[in-house]
């Protein structure tokens, strides 16, 4: 007869199957892979995202390094080299046609060609790099058909500036002469009386016989006729330094004005005297005469740091808010949802403006700008967290933890939240470009003026550049290119990251 009584089995009837050996699972033969490694592997398979990540790294490094590498700070504002194209003397000398500070001046007549020739002769710096095109037209002149030529000329804008009038005090004038003697660079040019150039006062580049429009009148052999002044009585201060070729020592190099001297200086060389180096602007100059290269770097650095801070704050607020919404559900969820509905309904422009009007005096422009981004920025993150919480909160491991007596806060942040963290972290990579985009838009529109805090923002650079789109396209090109690349690479990178961390949602857009 079978013993079916399993209720009270006496203890001594039990015995161990074995005691000698520790039992464990068979050891895996392959190397195990962590979640992170797995994600990285998936990420590296996505080629466009990998490329985007490298570009992104490059752009971030650029924004960090360019202000350090550039010899200029944002306070170096040149008054005359404004909106000038890219120029690096070392590269320009190679004649590759890049970074030579050139602009093409279309359909120029003989007079302008002579004007530039005059600059080249006097300063020794030839502005004309090359003749792009020559056009021949037949014009009727005094009853005869005459050939007239017009040219498209590639001109170096830095050299084109030529001579300018400058007022120096006596001490400065002496220092300048001393510097000239040391370096052998001719800065001061002989004075030309206004009366000998038809009283043209705004053009310092006329040193020759010209008509009342400033067009050169050449002598029979086609040479310029100098009209330098040698009247000692109007000389501003004694001059004992370099003299230009063809000067027999009688030319005067300054003009007396009350308490100071007025001189004609070759601006390119004068710039070297003032700054101790030749002008060298990799991206050219901005409309304020700053170095565009470092200005973009500084603007971009601000954008990136600002976006990261905003995203971090929004992440924290949104995570807590969404966790409470998702965990408690029901009435709490509904009320909190209504609040975020209302906040998300207010347009961004309005929020930023109101914060600027109310808070700018107390919290500063930058502070109120940050607040404005935080006010509505967290809502997306909260919705995301809420969704994840709804997904996980009714699963068994949560129930198990609750049965063991875990508190609500512990359940929320120790048990459920880690499951949602992958989604949340990857969504940051997609939130940051959004913040940069709005920040750029708002500074572009001038709703927020961060100039005094940051110096330069990509938005203001774009706005200045747009004003000069025809004359200085480079001021628009580089900031736009930077912003465009940054946006594209951030989004591609973010997408790749999201697909890598959440393989189940690949391709879904949410």
Partner 1 sequence: MFKYAIQRTLYMFMVLLIITCMCFVLIRMLPPETLPPGDPHTAVVLARREAQGYNKPYMVQFGIFLKDIFTKFDWGISDKLFFGQNVVKIFTERLPASMIVNFYSIIASIPIGIGLGIFAALKKNTWIDYMISTLTMVVISVPSFVYAFVIQYVFSYKLQLLPFLMKSGTDWFSWDMFVSILAPIMSLSFGVIAGFTRTTRAELTEVLTSEFMLLARTKGLTKAQATIRHAMRNCFVVVVPAIFGEFIGILGGSLIIERIFAIPGVGGLTLNAINARDYPIFMLTTVFYTAIGLAGGLVVDISYGFIDPRIRMGSKK
Contacts to partner 1 by CB under 8 A = 48, 341-342, 345-347, 349-350, 353-354, 357-358, 433, 437, 440-441, 444-447, 462, 465-466, 469-470, 473, 476, 480, 483-484, 487-488, 490-492, 495, 507-509
- Residue 224 Cβ, how far from partner 1 at the closest point, in Å? 36
Shorter beta-carbon distance to partner 1: residue 180 or 440: 440
User: Among candidates 156, 182, 165, which has minimal Cα distance to 276?
Assistant: 182
**Nearer Cβ to partner 1 (42/437):** 437
In the complex, least distance from residue 441 CB atom to partner 1, rounded to whole angstroms: 6
CB of 372 vs partner 1, minimal distance in Å: 12
Report the nearest approach of partner 1 to the CB of residue 47 (Å): 10
Q: Give 318 or 459: the residue with its C-beta nearer to partner 1.
A: 459
Across the strands, what pairs with 291?
285
Per-residue 3-state assignment (H helix, E strand, C coil) for 157-203: HHHHCCEEEEEECHHHHHHHHHHHHHHCCCCEECCCCHHHHCCCCCC
Minimum Å gap between C-beta 383 and partner 1 is 11
Nearest residue to 279 via CA among 289, 469, 65, 288: 289
Minimum CB separation from partner 1 for residue 464, in Å? 12
Name the minimum Å distance from CB 328 to partner 1: 15
Measured between alpha carbons, how far is 338 from 344 in angstroms, rounded to an integer? 10
CB of 205 to partner 1, least distance (A): 28
Residue 97 or 484 having the CB closest to partner 1: 484
Rounded Cα–Cα distance for residues 179 and 196 (Å)? 30
Instruction: Give least dist CB 430 to partner 1, A.
Output: 10
Contact assessment for residue 164 and residue 204, using Cβ atoms and an 8 Å cutoff? yes
- Rounded CA-CA distance 428/71 in Å is 35
Look-up of token digits 């200005």: 295
Q: Which is nearer to partner 1, 52 or 454 (CB)?
A: 52
Q: Which CB atom, from 294 or from 463, has the smaller least distance to partner 1?
A: 463
Q: What are phi and psi of 134, to 5 degrees?
A: -125, 130
SS3 at position 228? coil
- Written as six digits, the tokens of 395 are 């699963």
> Which residue number, 160 or 333, has a Cβ lying nearer to partner 1?
333
Helices 267-275 and 170-183 pack at an angle, to 10 degrees, of 100
CB-wise, 313 or 487, nearer to partner 1?
A: 487
Angle at alpha carbon of residue 378, lines to 374 and 382, rounded to 5°: 160
CB of 341 to partner 1, least distance (A): 6
Token reading at 18: 């074995």
- Quote the tokens at residue 472: 């200085």
Tokens representing residue 359 in the block: 């808070």
**What DSSP string describes 255-320?**
EEETTEEEEEEEHHHHHHHHHSS---BSS-B-TTS-BHHHHHHHHHHHHHHHHHHHHHHHHHHHHH
**Closer of 390 and 413 to partner 1 (Cβ):** 390
Nearer to partner 1, 176 or 462 (CB): 462
Would you say 112 or 344 has its CB closer to partner 1? Answer: 344
Choose among 199, 227, 193: nearest CA to 214.
Answer: 199
Which residue number, 88 or 349, has a Cβ lying nearer to partner 1? 349
Pairing of strands 260-266, 255-257: antiparallel
Please say whether the beta carbons of 142 and 129 come within 8 A: no
Buried residues in 133-145 as b, exposed as e (16+ CB within 10 A): eeeeeeeeeeeee
CB of 440 to partner 1, least distance (A): 7
Q: What's the min distance (Å) between Cβ of 131 and partner 1?
A: 21
């Amino acid at each position: 007869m079978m013993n079916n009584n399993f209720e009270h089995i006496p203890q001594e009837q039990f015995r161990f199957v074995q005691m000698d050996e520790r039992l464990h699972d068979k050891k895996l033969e392959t190397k195990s892979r962590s979640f992170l490694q797995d994600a990285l592997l998936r990420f590296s398979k996505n080629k466009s995202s990998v490329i985007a990540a490298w570009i992104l790294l490059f752009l971030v490094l650029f924004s960090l390094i360019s202000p350090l590498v550039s010899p200029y700070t944002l306070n170096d504002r040149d008054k005359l080299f404004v909106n000038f194209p890219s120029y690096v003397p070392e590269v320009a000398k190679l004649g590759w046609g890049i970074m030579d500070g050139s602009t093409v001046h279309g359909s120029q007549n003989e007079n302008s060609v002579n004007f530039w020739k005059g600059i080249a002769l006097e300063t020794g710096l030839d502005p004309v790099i090359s003749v792009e095109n020559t056009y021949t037209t037949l014009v009727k002149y005094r009853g005869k058909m005459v050939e007239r030529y017009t040219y498209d000329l590639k001109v170096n804008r830095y050299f084109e500036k030529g001579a300018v009038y400058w007022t120096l005090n006596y001490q400065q004038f002496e220092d300048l002469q001393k510097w000239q003697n040391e370096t052998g660079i001719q800065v001061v040019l002989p004075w030309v009386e206004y009366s000998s150039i038809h009283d043209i006062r705004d053009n310092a580049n006329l040193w020759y016989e010209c008509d009342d429009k400033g067009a050169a009148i050449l002598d029979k052999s086609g040479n310029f006729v100098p009209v330098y002044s040698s009247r000692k009585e109007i000389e501003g201060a004694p001059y004992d330094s370099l003299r230009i070729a063809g000067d027999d020592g009688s030319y005067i190099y300054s003009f007396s004005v009350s308490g100071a001297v007025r001189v004609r200086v070759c601006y390119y060389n004068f710039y070297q005297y003032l700054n101790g180096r030749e002008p060298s602007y990799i991206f050219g100059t901005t409309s304020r005469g700053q170095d565009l290269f470092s200005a973009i770097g500084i603007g971009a650095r601000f954008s990136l740091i600002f976006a990261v801070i905003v995203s971090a704050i929004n992440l924290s607020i949104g995570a807590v808010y969404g966790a409470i919404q998702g965990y408690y559900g029901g009435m709490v969820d509904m009320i909190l949802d209504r609040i975020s509905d209302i906040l998300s309904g207010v347009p961004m422009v309005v929020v930023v403006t109101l914060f600027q009007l109310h808070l700018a005096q107390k919290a500063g422009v930058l502070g109120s700008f940050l607040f404005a981004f935080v006010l509505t920025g967290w809502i997306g993150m909260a919705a995301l967290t809420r969704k994840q919480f709804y997904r996980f909160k009714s699963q068994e491991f949560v129930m198990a933890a609750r049965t063991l007596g875990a508190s609500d806060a512990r359940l929320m942040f120790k048990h459920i939240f880690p499951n949602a963290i992958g989604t949340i972290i990857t969504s940051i990579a997609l939130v940051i470009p959004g913040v940069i985009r709005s920040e750029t838009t708002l500074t572009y529109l001038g709703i927020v003026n961060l100039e005094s805090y940051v110096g330069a923002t990509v938005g203001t650079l774009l706005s200045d550049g747009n004003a000069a789109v025809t004359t200085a396209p480079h001021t628009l090109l580089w900031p736009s290119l930077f912003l465009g690349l940054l946006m594209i690479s951030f989004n591609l990178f973010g997408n790749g990251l999201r697909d890598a961390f959440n393989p189940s949602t690949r391709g879904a857009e949410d």
